[in-house]
A and B are shown apart, each in its own frame.
Chain A
């Protein structure tokens, strides 16, 4: 069964600090991995999408890494802001079956002043 596991489940950080979220997956064959940000009560918004050949991708203060060999990804948030408080969801798609996405349960980040 294709699975996506995210850790930690939640974390609290002080404004201005950095943090790293983890995503491990078992989806095979792999097509791409996406990170989404979801504010409370809103739909997810795409942050990054990475294919097999990409191991780093940035979007402003968000940097995602991918190790396709170990099937691990991380999302690093630099100099956190209060607006970074949200749930971050890791999503993996399967090659030749791309309509079928495997979603992680998300990591809830709370940034405090």
Chain B
């Protein structure tokens, strides 16, 4: 999947728990993104980061947090404040704006 790995592939969470989704890329890309995919809807941007130690909120950032301490890594934490976290989460990276995104294989999060 283009040098981007996400783990775990499946994740189950109890209500009230925080969980962290991992995203690592070895493409030397500066920009990284987190998207959420729900059935019948287009992907929605949660957070993005264009350089290390900097990130910006996307359209649906509430209840999520990220960090970008290393160029290769962009973990996403789904907090208990996210009211409807069950979804398919996709991480992506790009060399620069407008150059096209490479997507990871995704993590399916289910809240029990």
B-binding residues in A (CB < 8 A): 4, 31-32, 34, 36, 41-46, 49, 89, 93, 98-106
Contact with A along B16-33 (1 / 0, CB 8 A): 000000000000000101
Supposing A43-B90, A43-B106 touch, asked if A49 and B42 sit within 8 A by C-beta, the answer is no
Cβ-closest 9 pairs across A and B:
A103-B42, A43-B103, A98-B97, A98-B98, A103-B43, A44-B103, A105-B42, A43-B105, A49-B100
> B50, A99: Cβ atoms under 8 Å?
yes
Can you list 26 A-B contacts (CB < 8 A)? A31-B98, A36-B103, A41-B88, A41-B106, A42-B1, A43-B1, A43-B4, A43-B90, A43-B104, A43-B105, A44-B90, A44-B103, A45-B2, A46-B101, A89-B42, A93-B98, A98-B97, A98-B98, A99-B31, A99-B48, A99-B50, A101-B45, A103-B43, A103-B44, A105-B42, A106-B42
Give the chain A neighbours of B4 by CB distance below 8 A.
Answer: 43
Minimum CB–CB distance for A21 against chain B, Å: 15
Interface residues of B, count at CB 8 A: 28
Q: Among the listed B48, B50, B56, B98, which residue makes an inter-chain contact with A32, where contact means beta carbons less than 8 Å apart?
A: B98
Residues of B within 8 A of A4 (CB): 42
In the bound assembly, the distance between CA atoms of A93 and B101 in angstroms comes to 11
